[in-house]
Every structure is written in C-alpha cells, then in structure tokens.
Amino acid sequence: MNKCHICTQAVFSKEIAVLSYALNTFQRELPSDSIYCQTCLEKKIQSFTTDLDRSKFQFAKSMGEVRNPIEGIDYYFNEQGLFTMTAWYHLRRGKCCTNDCLHCPYKAVLTT
C-alpha cells in the first residue's frame, strides 16, 4: 500500500500517484518516487500554480490535457454550485480558451 509522504495517509488512486511522481520529478524537493494523498497533492498544486514561470507552463503542458478530471485538483464546485476549472487544469490544457475563465493562468501573459 502506498502512503502519503507528508501525512502518511493511504493513497489508493493511480491518477493521484502519477501526478505526485510527475510533480516531484519537476520540483526535485523529494525523491521522485514519493507520493501524496489527494489533500496534500491539492496543496502542492496550489503552491505550484501561485508563482508561474516559463518552466512551470512548459512542464504542465508537457503532461498533456486532462483526460479524467479529479475534483479538487482539476475542478471544484463554487459556492453557487458551478463547475469551476482550476489553474492547474488550464495549465495542462496548454493554451487559453478565451472564455475569460476565473483561474486562467494565461490572463497575465496575454495582458502584458
């Protein structure tokens, strides 16, 4: 059984483990075989999307578009119950869709 490197909670999802491995390989903070539970991974991804630079844009895009979105990582439901995509989802998409999305990481790039 796999356990989260941070909180030691069991990790059952293959998608969460794959994202953990990829993020660790990029950030080089932990061994690349370290994994996170969904809660800890959500925090790591939020941190990742806070200060974006060219290497982060390229890394996220290189992972390819999201095939099976994960609630809390790729999307969430806001206070009004609306389906809202995260900055992480948009980064993996690889380009702006020009729909003025709330968490669009390309807004700053397009407006400068």
The residue-averaged pLDDT of 46-71 equals 91
Same domain, 74 and 97: yes
pLDDT at residue 75 in the model: 96
pTM of the model: 0.84
Same domain, 44 and 60: no
Same domain, 77 and 103: yes
pLDDT at residue 26 in the model: 84
8 forms beta bridges with none
Same domain, 21 and 57: no
Q: Where does a domain end: 26, 48, 70?
A: 48
Q: Which domain holds residue 93?
A: 51-112
Q: How many domains does one find in the chain? A: 2
65-69 contact pairs (CB < 8 A, 24+): 65/92, 65/93, 65/94, 66/92, 66/93, 68/15
pLDDT at residue 32 in the model: 63
pLDDT in tens, 3-51: 998 899 988 888 888 888 888 788 777 676 788 999 999 999 999 998 8
pLDDT in tens, 86-107: 999 999 999 998 899 999 999 8
Same domain, 32 and 66: no
Same domain, 32 and 71: no
Same domain, 62 and 25: no
The mean predicted confidence, pLDDT, of the chain is 88
